[in-house]
Structure 1
């Protein structure tokens, strides 16, 4: 089983999937090795072959390139629970059909200002389809990996639609239950109750998720193994307690009844949650643990964990692409190490306290490896929140949901559960303000290995030698810093923020951020992309936040940056249009040096509001220059050529994302770049870059580097080298 599990897990680390002929060879070799009783290598090969084959099936089910960006009429059924946020309805369509050709089995759609959509309904829709594509940055959520793990083969935007049939089946029932839950007066926490009962987190705001992240309690607001395990444990404990008190009927053996009742409760809870991948994983683990408790305790505590790992991966090999998979199994492994085989018994509070601090240390290497925020307040917050949610809120919420046909009783229990949840959020808010989460820098492999060894030592029983040195082995992973920028050079990052702009310029001792990306409602690129990327690159403060102008696609994420990092100074070409909290100073012509790297600012004073007011920055290192232009237009380009700012530069940030109103022939002739950096969103509604603009660059032999095609771009200014894109780092799930 261990060899098979390792073969299945190897999928996560493959840069590309092997070709079909090689998989056939490996499968034949694996079977031959099994026949020769070389089980370890044989099962490893078979596990890898099955994982790669399943992943290839998912990749083959993606939208064909011919339909990418096209609008088609299609028909399909809504699955899951549609979510509504900022007047946008997001839902998934299953078994979509179109007369134009074959479509993926599952499509994720969004509909701005769309009508009410219920799970189980059938719709005919006009959809602008897109192949799965996500932003690629030094540190950010990997949307493409998530889509593949969900086996979503396309995304799209709905232009128009017609409901063909009303909702029916399980999806309609779950949607109806959600509507009842959201209508309950639950002290403003009806959305949290829907998350705990149905696994629907759309009712939680961005601020709620941020609070849960800071306190390390995200796992409490999504139906995970912990919730289902707690419910199964309560049902099991109820039967065991009755048997111990002599109140259980003697003609019914209490242990099989306890196991059956616990598993039935877990499955019923999973049914309400829609049996998503984490829920299925939890139910499998609970079923195997109960089977082990019933018949196979002599095999030890590791047997059900290993068997559950194999069963889950055989059923869905793509689970390895989700951080929750690694964290859930790592958490169970930590608990087995801490509690299995211990002599004597601990009180409930001592057990809970020990579980929290050991989980904090035991999961730290996994959190660092996955690039997830580390909450120092997590042990304290979970010590309060785990029993509060598991023993009080979840049972009351589930019981209230079941009793909704009796309005005064069901709604009363839900109101009580909502009040308890509201009180918990107040407590968590105080904890988060006292000790927020910390996002570490990228950790090298050697520091991760030391952290794993240190965590393993700390988890050993008390009295075992060498436990305390484990703390010192954790320090390199927590304190290691990235290699500093060499003196006289500048490291330039053009982050992949979609239709917007954010550029980091680092010297040996200083850091400047030119623009902060856009913000769309609750989705803030400054918070979701730029800030995590800065921290991953070990940027802990900014000497200057330079906002070219105040348009949303350039300054929308600025507030998140100012709140998330110490910023010494904010400058902008349009101070009057920025929020007061930024306390920005106007952009004026000036020149300075950091670590022998020269910086020059310029702004057209007569440009007027909007794009012409963009503040232009020229950076020079060892004779090599970069010109950052914001959204300047043709008139501003002519004014710049008549100014004291040198126009010539080896690298040019393509003005205004490649708009037809910029990159005039005269400007390109004066700058004479040999490379252009283009920041834009794929399939953006403005049509950037314009074909005429691209033709101008091509005619001058200027190589364009595009964030939409290459991900975040990195350049070492002063070395006269080339630009590299993060999408060049091969991952089998990323579009080539």
Structure 2
């Protein structure tokens, strides 16, 4: 049976890694084949096929529930019920709408909406809204978070922006939202948001700085409800009943063991429902249920059997749960503990057990975090050594008890206030640790390097005395220093990152790095910090020799400060230095200046008589082995006319679309003189500016240009000097991504 359960798990997971789902006919045929092999006792094969079929059906169901491409970018009046826990940040109300209906079109079951400067929205209310729809998507960059996969796992069929709306019905049975409002009303050192995260699993009240601290110290699992909290509450309830029975207080006519197990599971399930029943919570409930069942029936199931059943149970409930990092981290952490503490000879003292558990989990999760492209906390073992007992034994009891006692005047609020003060003390301590040891973002590495590191971690988890165990350290440390294949002399490696409505292009030669523009920043939403810096680290950029900011607009230079804080930048030049923050110490663009790095030629140009920041864009020409790339910033038709009289007006294979493809740029005269083969467009999907303009796209097509569009293709990678087509992130096929289309 265990072999069958393992085969079921494999079958449930395989579709999540496939580039495309199998045809419907194949999916229908597989269960028939599974039933045919059952009489031959081929249970693993049958379970494998059943699991594969169930996962494919769940994935296809979610895909079919996504917004129709016809409605992408359209605005419609719809009606629906607000679900989940809405929240407001930076003046934007974000919420989910379920059971949405439109008069003429079929809509997805669940929508994720944003209402700028919108009124308060509460869970359970029914609204009539004018929504501009957008198909699920997200920025696609090398080894970065896949927002589209996350939306699919959340069953979000579309996103959208609310233009107008009216409330049709007040909230009905929105008990989680009511509790959250009471919790957020508690003023405890401004930690009410952390209380809501601990009690309800709602992290929307945590600031960006709070998230950074938790990530740097590896303690996110403490504030976003994890299996640890569920198991702790169940254990407390079980021990309470057992203690009362031992003291003779428990009623004799009620058998204490069934009651202890039942109340412990009821407490765990109640806390899980309060937390929204996410993946770690599902896993914990199944695990707690199995342990209590074993205790009730006095049967020893072993440790791996309940874990495997819990894993299959979560995937059967939600076949797309494997797309969430939380599933892998939660199960991997439990697996590491079972592997390292199960069947070992000799007894450890309690403090040895506790300290070793933290270090062993850190080592065991290291390959998992790398596979998920998540940062690795260097201070995690130390921080968790102190934070886990503090949250579990000191903060959580008054927080939960205060929530339960909220109906009692002053009592519930007082306990929550105390829990908030205790959480504030925790954050102060974690901030000190994070300040000294920030999280480590590992560079991209080949699969074989990761496999060697994973083998090293496995060796270190083995008991002492196992031969070759000491080799685990050098094998694990290879993850920090993966081999690097140097770029050939005379070539330039170019990445146009996917930063939405903005621009950021990385150019590397054999020994030098140049960043052309830094990505956008709009208010507190800084793509330089959130996208560009992590992408540069993944691409093994350790320092930037030159950051060139074409001009001072926020969509090109907004992320510059975050980049200078995240990476050493030797020099900054710009076409519009007065418009940039003084901290950048930007120098002016020197039109006509040229230089060489490792056999690659660079040349600058700027219109001397420009009237505005766009026209003052510093234009960069890169030439490698006779192949040219022209980066134009946001120049317009007037600047283009002057550019055609400069030394840069030569045949150019690659052209970065001026001003994101605006109709005031990309003149036919420019295209005829440069005669490009390919144009690169960097813009946000469904942007409000209408970039690229249909007229400009028609010009590109008339000239027979290949068009690479970041909104359609994600990040774009090419090697200048090889005269080969570019590669795009969307060409890395996943079944939830639309096929990339190379316009021509």
Conservation of the 8 A alpha-carbon contact between 2:195 and 2:399: yes
The counterpart of 2:42, out of the listed 32, 38, 41, is: 38
On the 8 A contact 2:13/2:322 being kept in 1, the answer is yes
Give the whole-Å Cα distance in 2 for the aligned partners of 1:289 and 1:661.
Answer: 68
Equivalent residues of 2:145, 2:373 under 8 A apart: no
Q: Map 1:273-284; keep pairs closer than 5 Å.
A: 273-284=275-286
Distance change >3 Å, CA 482–CA 288, structure 1 → 2: farther
Residue 118 (1) aligns with residue 148 (2): no
CA distance in 1 between counterparts of 2:290 and 2:299 reads 11
Structure-1 separation of matches of 2:611 and 2:353? 66
Query: Which one of 187, 191, 199 corresponds to residue 189 of structure 2?
Result: 187
Partner of 2:582 in structure 1? 580
Shift of 1:332: 0.7
1:599-633 CA distances to partner (integer Å, 9 max, x unpaired)?
11222232133211111111000000000001111
Deviates more, 1:379-388 or 1:345-354: 345-354
Contact 1:140 1:528 (8 Å CA) reproduced: no
Query: Which residue of the partner structure matches residue 316 of structure 1?
Result: 318
Which residue is equivalent to 2:377? 375
> Contact conserved, 1:648 with 1:670, CA < 8 A, in 2?
yes
How far apart in 1 are the matches of 2:247 and 2:487? 69
Distance change (3 Å), C-alpha of 1:381 and 1:275: same
**Is 1:17 equivalent to 2:15 in the alignment?**
no
TM superposition shift of 1:236: 2.9
Give secondary structure in 2 for the equivalent of 1:380.
Answer: helix
1:233 counterpart residue number: 235
Deviations for 1:218-247, whole angstroms, at most 9, x for unmatched residues?
Answer: 111211222222222332343445556666
Choose which of 448, 451, 472 in structure 1 pairs with 2:450: 448
Counterparts of 2:223 and 2:332, CA distance in 1: 19
Q: Work out whether 1:512 is the aligned partner of 2:514.
A: yes
Alpha-carbon distance change, 650 to 664 in structure 1, aligned in 2, over 3 angstroms: same
**1:482-493, aligned counterparts within 5 Å?**
482-493=484-495
Please say if 1:720 is aligned against 2:718.
Answer: no
Matches within 5 A, 1:275-674: 275-295=277-297, 297-343=299-345, 345-589=347-591, 590-674=593-677
Structure 1: how far apart are the matches of 2:602 and 2:344? 63
Q: Is the 8 A contact 2:649 2:673 kept in 1?
A: no
- Which stretch shifts more, 285-294 or 698-707? 285-294
CA distance in 2, matches of 1:524, 1:566: 18
* 1: CA distance, partners of 2:490 / 2:243: 72
- Which string of whole-angstrom CA distances, capped at 9 and with x for unpartnered residues, describes residues 300-357 of structure 1? 1111000111111111110011111111111110111122233455444332211110
Superimposed CA distance per residue, residues 170-203 of structure 1 (whole angstroms, 9 cap, x where no aligned partner): xx22112111111111101011001111111111
1:150 match: 154
Is 1:678 equivalent to 2:708 in the alignment?
A: no
Q: 1:695 aligns with which of 692, 698, 701?
A: 698
Matches within 5 A, 1:19-168: 19-168=23-172
**2: distance between equivalents of 1:158 and 1:58?**
24
Deviation of 1:648 (Å): 3.1
Once residues 395 and 69 of structure 1 are traced to their aligned partners in structure 2, the CA distance between those partners, rounded to angstroms, is 48
Q: Offset of 1:414 from its aligned partner? A: 1.3
* Deviation, structure 1 residue 294: 3.0
Separation in structure 2 between the aligned mates of residue 417 and residue 577 of structure 1, nearest angstrom: 46
Structure-2 separation of matches of 1:121 and 1:578: 45
How far did 1:478 drift? 2.2
Q: Distance in 2 between matches of 1:511 and 1:259?
A: 62
Q: 2:677 & 2:396 partners in 1: Cα distance?
A: 61
Q: Which moved more, 1:564-573 or 1:77-86?
A: 564-573
In the alignment, is residue 711 of structure 1 matched against residue 708 of structure 2? no
Q: What is the aligned partner in structure 1 of residue 272 from structure 2?
A: 270
Please state whether the residue corresponding to 1:611 is helix, strand or coil.
Answer: coil
How far apart are residue 644 of structure 1 and its match?
A: 3.7
CA distance in 1, matches of 2:284, 2:114: 30
Per-residue deviation, residues 357-379 of structure 1 (Å, max 9, x unmatched): 00000011101111110111110
CA distance in 2, matches of 1:572, 1:242: 74
User: Shift in Å at residue 457 of structure 1?
Assistant: 1.6
Q: Matched residues in 1 for 2:124 and 2:539: separation?
A: 45
Q: Conserved in 2, the CA contact under 8 Å of 1:11 and 1:320?
A: no
Q: CA separation in 2, counterparts of 1:168 and 1:277?
A: 26
* TM-score computed with the length of structure 2 as normaliser: 0.96
What CA distance in whole angstroms lies between the structure 2 residues aligned with 1:188 and 1:665? Answer: 58
TM-score by length of 1: 0.97
Give the total of aligned pairs.
734
Task: Give secondary structure in 2 for the equivalent of 1:625.
Answer: strand
The answer to whether 1:2 aligns with 2:6 is yes
The answer to whether the 8 Å contact 1:206/1:522 transfers is no
Q: Is the 8 A contact 1:139 1:532 kept in 2?
A: no
Cα distance, 1:128 vs structure 2: 0.8
The answer to whether the 8 Å contact 1:401/1:414 transfers is yes
**Deviates further, 562-571 or 490-499:** 562-571
Cα distance in 2 between the residues matched to 1:454 and 1:646:
55
Q: Partners in 1 of 2:718 and 2:412 — Cα distance?
A: 60
Q: Distance in 2 between matches of 1:341 and 1:238?
A: 29
Q: 1:100 to 1:632 in 2, by over 3 A?
A: same
- Indicate if the aligned counterparts of 2:12 and 2:54 stay in contact, CA closer than 8 A: yes
CA 1:456–1:240: 2 relative to 1, 3 Å: farther
Contact 1:62 1:153 in 2 (8 A): yes
- CA distance in structure 2 between the aligned counterparts of 1:176 and 1:536, rounded to whole angstroms: 42
In the alignment, what sits opposite 2:734?
Answer: 731
Paired position in structure 1 for 2:742: none
| Shift in alpha-carbon separation, 1:544–1:292, aligned structure 2, 3 A | farther
CA contact (8 A) 2:279 2:327 kept: no
**Aligned residues of 1:494 and 1:502 also touching (Cα < 8 A):** yes
Determine if contact 2:491/2:509 at 8 Å carries over to the other structure: yes
